[in-house]
Amino acid sequence: MKRHAVLEEIHRAYQPRSYLEIGINTGRSLALSRTRTIAVDPAFKIKSEIHCDLQVVKATSDDFFARDEGLDHFPDRRVDLAFVDGLHLFEFALRDFMNVERHAHWASVIVVDDVLPRNVAEASRDRGTRAAWAGDVFKLTEVLAKHRPDLLLLPLDTDPTGVLLVLGADPQNTVLEEKYDEIVAEYVYPDPQRVPEAVLRRKTAVDSASIVYSDIWVELRKARESGLGHETAWEGVRRSIEAAARPATRRELAPEPARERANAPEPRRSARRERDGKVSPPPATTRRMLAGVRRRLRPPRRRLRRLGEPT
């Protein structure tokens, strides 16, 4: 499934009372909302028609969350559904998640984009000239699994670069805030990034359709609307979600993008190339061509005259 199809189905089935989007770009995902919405981006360029009660904030997400009145557009200042698609760098994605969770509740749905890059180049911290770029946001899944085992983490196998569905938010949990500097020091390092093969092949990803077309959204919505607390309803919801989840189809390792290969120097085109200290034979087409040249250059064979044969 495409990420926008997943978001659209979550909006339809979960029916959030409030929607927060970090990173607007052209507004394609923002156009899916039909509820009270806050969208944050320092340089948006909305091109889609919007059909919601919208407040657009032209600022970085850090600046937005630093404002006391930031979430006043929501009646109870709480976020039911959030989509995090800001700067594609791990430390920013981590801060965005931390800030969203502070304004969430246990039945909130948090979706983080770009957690399943398809190759190492796509996971680089430096975008360069890449058309497709996920950055190193993939590290967020590992960090949350390590430091927040209380959360339910579902990396969904969406195209193009996967999303992370996070459920069971706890606004009172301060573990990430307390360990933020330690985590960033461990996980932020120069390119190339060390992307686990399990991420590239999507070995731990969940089939998107098994989640978005299940009944868990109705169950989660009813629990939210009934005002049930985390202690009362969360474990039942969690078991339902885990039962619905099916493993995604594993993928072959994707090649580096063509644009990246285009920047590499062209190999010399010769009939015989050196490779690892050895000379490799020319390809079959070149061998046939050389054979034809040799035939044309070969002098004609002279037949020996037999004894007694007239000249």
Nearest-5° Cα angle at 244, 7 to 148: 75
Kind of pairing, strands 81-84 and 18-22?
parallel
Which residues contact residue 171 at a Cβ distance below 8 angstroms, ignoring those fewer than 6 apart?
A: 101, 102, 103, 104, 105
Considering only residues 280 and 199, tell me which one the structure prediction assigns the higher pLDDT.
Answer: 199
pLDDT above 50 for 107: yes
Q: How confident is the model at residue 310 (pLDDT cuts 50, 70, 90)?
A: low
Write down the mean pLDDT value for the chain: 86
> Which residue has 């996967």 as its token pair?
162
Q: Are residues 146 and 287 in the same domain?
A: no
Total structural domains in the chain?
2
3 state DSSP class of 44: coil
Residue recorded with tokens 């889609």: 48
Report field, pTM of the whole predicted structure over 0.85: no
Write down the pLDDT at residue 258. Answer: 57
Q: Clarify whether residues 187 and 277 are in a common domain.
A: no
What is the token pair recorded at 135? 């950055």
Query: Is residue 80 in some structural domain?
Result: yes
Residues 225 and 287 in one domain: no
On whether residue 302 sits in a domain, the answer given is no
Q: Are residues 274 and 190 in the same domain?
A: no
Do 247 and 281 lie in one domain? The reply is: no
Q: What pLDDT is recorded for position 279?
A: 40
pLDDT tens-digit series, residues 116-134 = 999 999 999 999 888 889 9
* pLDDT surpassing 70 at residue 12: yes
Output the pLDDT for position 226.
87
DSSP bridge partners of 154: 165
pLDDT digits (tens, 9 = 90+) for 203-243: 999 999 999 999 999 999 998 998 888 888 888 889 999 99
Question: Which comes out higher in pLDDT, residue 309 or 220?
Answer: 220
Over residues 288-301, mean pLDDT: 50
Residues 191 and 273 in one domain: no
Look at residue 103 and tell me if it is in a domain: yes
User: Do 281 and 189 share a structural domain?
Assistant: no
Residue with tokens 């509820």: 35
197, 292: one domain: no
306 within some domain = no
pLDDT digits (tens, 9 = 90+) for 34-55: 999 999 999 989 999 999 999 9
**Residue 72 corresponds to which amino acid?**
D
Is the pLDDT at 270 greater than 50? The verdict is no
Q: Does 279 lie in the same domain as 226?
A: no
Per-residue pLDDT band for 286 (boundaries 50, 70, 90) equals very low
Among 26, 24, 28, residue whose Cα is nearest residue 64: 24
Residue range 134-148, pLDDT digits in tens: 999 999 999 999 999
**Residue 239 tokens, joined:** 């078991």
Q: Is the pLDDT of residue 291 over 90?
A: no
- Whole-number Å distance between alpha carbons of 186 and 12: 39
Q: How far apart are CA 64 and CA 29, in angstroms?
A: 20
Q: Where are the beta strands (DSSP E) in the chain?
A: 18-22, 36-40, 54-57, 81-84, 109-113, 152-156, 163-167, 273-275, 278-280
Segment 59-81 mean pLDDT: 95
Question: 83 lies in a domain?
Answer: yes
Share of the chain above pLDDT 90, in %: 71
| Band (111; pLDDT cuts 50, 70, 90) | very high
User: Do residues 30 and 57 share a domain?
Assistant: yes
Average pLDDT over residues 275-294: 46
User: What range does the domain containing 279 cover?
Assistant: 265-297
Tell me if the bond preceding 160 is cis, omega within 30° of 0: yes
Q: Cis before residue 192, ω within 30 degrees of 0? A: yes
Q: What CATH number is attached to the domain comprising 181?
A: 3.40.50.150
Q: Say whether pLDDT at 267 is over 50.
A: no
Tokens of 79: 């976020």
Please indicate, yes or no, if residue 303 is contained in any of the structural domains: no
Residue range 143-192, pLDDT digits in tens: 999 999 999 999 999 999 999 999 999 999 999 999 999 999 999 999 99
| 271 in the same domain as 150 | no
Confidence at residue 282, expressed as pLDDT on a 0 to 100 scale: 47
Decide if 90 is inside a domain: yes
Residue 152 belongs to some domain of the structure: yes
List Cα–Cα distances, 26 to 50, 133, 291, in angstroms: 11, 16, 59
Instruction: Say whether both 288 and 188 belong to one domain.
Output: no
The predicted pLDDT at position 250 comes to 82
